[in-house]
Amino acid sequence: MSLHEISSEKRLFSRIAFDAPVILNKGNEQWTSKLLDISLKGALVVRPDDWQQENDGEFKLAIKLDNSDVEIDMDVTLAHTEEDHIGFHCEHIDLDSVTSLKRLVELNLGDEELLEREILNMLSD
């Protein structure tokens, strides 16, 4: 099995490339950054220059959608850190945010059946 096949098999959720400002909070610390992509189970953001965090604890991630009052808020944990980006795993998302995220994914996937499968996978975790 190739690396691509393993990666595709592991990934149950489509990642949507999306450019939006984000704010990360942990305790009294705050970072601003930019969203690279998002899925029903997490997000990838540009690593802030002053990022010094380790792999512990929960963060608040707020994604502001352009030209609207919509904000997607998630409680996330650090999944991985690279030189230029950081991956987060969604631990909790409120109903308003998941509704907005579902709509964003639906518009970008263009495949309602795929979206429904991903939602079922998310709920079964």
The pLDDT of residue 5 is: 42
Query: Can you give the pLDDT at residue 52?
Result: 84
- Residue 6 lies inside a defined structural domain of this protein: no
In total, how many domains does the chain have? 1
Residues 6+ apart with CB under 8 A from 115: 102, 105, 106, 109
The per-residue pLDDT string of the chain (125 residues; one tens digit each, 9 = 90 and over) reads 343 443 444 445 678 888 999 999 999 999 999 999 998 889 999 999 988 877 678 999 999 987 778 899 999 999 999 999 999 999 999 999 988 888 887 777 666 666 566 566 655 66
Q: Is residue 8 part of a domain?
A: no
In the chain, what is the straight-line distance between the N-terminal and C-terminal CA atoms, in Å?
25
Q: What is the pLDDT at residue 112?
A: 66
CATH number at residue 32: 2.40.10.220
Prediction pTM value: 0.76
Domain assignment of residue 90, given as a range:
13-124
Residue 63 lies in a domain: yes
* 118 within domain boundaries: yes
**Alpha carbon distance 36, 21 (integer Å):** 10
Report if residue 65 sits inside a domain. Answer: yes
Specify which residues 38 forms β-bridges with: 16, 43
Q: Could you tell me if residue 106 is inside a domain?
A: yes
Answer whether residue 75 is part of any domain.
Answer: yes
